[in-house]
Amino acid sequence: MPRPRKPASPFRYFNSSPEIIRLVVFMYVRFPLSLRNVEDLLFERGIDICHETVRLWWNRFGPLFAADIRRQRVSRMRGFRQWRWHLDEVFVKINGERHYLWRAVDHEGEVLESYVTKKRDKSAALRFFKKALKRHGKVETIVTDGLRSYSAAMRELGNNERREVGRHLNNRAENSHLPFRRRERAMQRFRRMKSLQKFVSVHASLHNHFNSQRHLVDRQTYKLRRSAALAEWQSLMG
């Protein structure tokens, strides 16, 4: 019986080591740094690469790393049924034109789904709901704002009775936009809808992975969680 073939390494055509590539993607996506900021910080460490190499590497490997993180988290959480989702949408300008970033956040502040549309009508809300439910399964309660698109889409899906609307109930979803807004300013906005969708998906996965909720735990627990997150990150796609 033939032995199963080992999957080819995604780093096989690159001269740089996987450790450097992971570091570059980590710095660019995790922190509000520009391409040239990352280039200068790496040069101080003795790593001489061009800012266009930073762009190439995050575009090539960012989605792979994010998919690996997301796959592990979805498999762990899919059987959990007492979820309380918080949904919100925020406008993002692409070449001066207004688009909408829909975001689903769970009761612990972890970003479950990010989805970009040109409108925020019933059709857009329905596509967002179907994508989130298909990936993460059923949910116990869904908290939204007063946008009518939510109620119209949820009625069609038959889960409108799970909806909750309140003045301050959705602060968790609104706060989840803040890391993205800081990152958006560093990138000087976006030029294509496709690149925005790609970046928010990668950014959300890395934010979830390294979000240790340090304001809720003591210093020692935070250090242990941070070390575990870094160790898991360094083993991705290994």
Tell me the residue ranges of DSSP E strands in 145-221.
163-165
Q: For 79-191, CATH number?
A: 3.30.420.10
Q: Tokens 């498999």 appear where?
A: 75
DSSP helix/strand/coil, 190:
strand
Q: Give the DSSP letter of residue 163.
A: E
Domain boundaries, the chain: 18-76+212-234, 79-191
Percent of the chain at pLDDT exceeding 90 = 50
pLDDT digits (tens, 9 = 90+) for 6-23: 667 888 888 888 899 999
**pLDDT recorded at residue 82:** 62
pLDDT digits (tens, 9 = 90+) for 129-175: 999 988 888 888 999 988 999 999 999 999 889 899 977 888 888 88
